[in-house]
Amino acid sequence: MNANLLPTGSAYFLTRETAQPERHTLSVLVDNEPGILARVVGLFSARGYNIDSLTVSETEHNKRLSRITVVTVATPKVLEQIKLQLERLVPVHKVHDLTAEGNGLERELALIKVAGTGDHRSETLRLADAFRANIVDATTESFVFEVTGKSSKIDSFIALMVPLGLVEVVRTGLAAISRGPEGM
């Protein structure tokens, strides 16, 4: 009888949420100060929002500003709340929904370790070349590749490496910026 109850933030929200969740990339400009990352991720966990990917680094040293890129999956109503709740944090300057604005450039970097011998090695190198992956470490039994691109490209490359002796992967998470002359 309660099968259609979904957690939606309000105890009284008894109706099924019909809107489909969407995947959006948010760019958040913040003061670079102790605890800012904890504030942002704490907000996501406290209010039950998802984080699919998170990238943080200082981007303007003189102004002590950092840029946080966060990929989240939520319904449009919740996405609006995420943006407004982030803007409520005192050290947050701006929040841009690059997916909604439709002009985002997204890149990710991955380091991928593949071990193998014989035919596998040459096949691995051919594919790496096709994906413009750089070799950043090599031994007689292994390679470490550096691949940059959209997340989907990295996903495909990793999938291809699985049968060829994939050992481990490390990814930076998404970095995103808007196209054109305007800054944030």
- Tokens linked to 154: 């990295």
* List of residues 6+ apart from 144 with CB closer than 8 A: 111, 112, 113, 114, 135, 136, 137, 138
Residue 15 beta carbon to another protein: minimum distance, rounded to whole angstroms? 4
**Per CB under 8 A, 35 contacts another protein:** yes
Site for another protein in 37-66 (CB under 8 A): 38-39, 42, 46
Q: Alpha-carbon distance 29 to 56, whole Å? A: 10
Min CB(179)–another protein separation in Å: 25
Q: How far is the CB of 103 from another protein (least distance, A)?
A: 23
Is residue 21 a contact residue for another protein (CB under 8 A)? no
26 contacts: CB under 8 Å, gap ≥ 6: 69, 70, 71, 72, 82, 83, 86, 95, 96, 97, 98
Q: Does 3 bind another protein (CB under 8 A)?
A: no
Interface with another protein, residue 88, by CB under 8 A: yes
Q: How far is the CB of 125 from another protein (least distance, A)?
A: 47
178 binds another protein (CB under 8 A): no
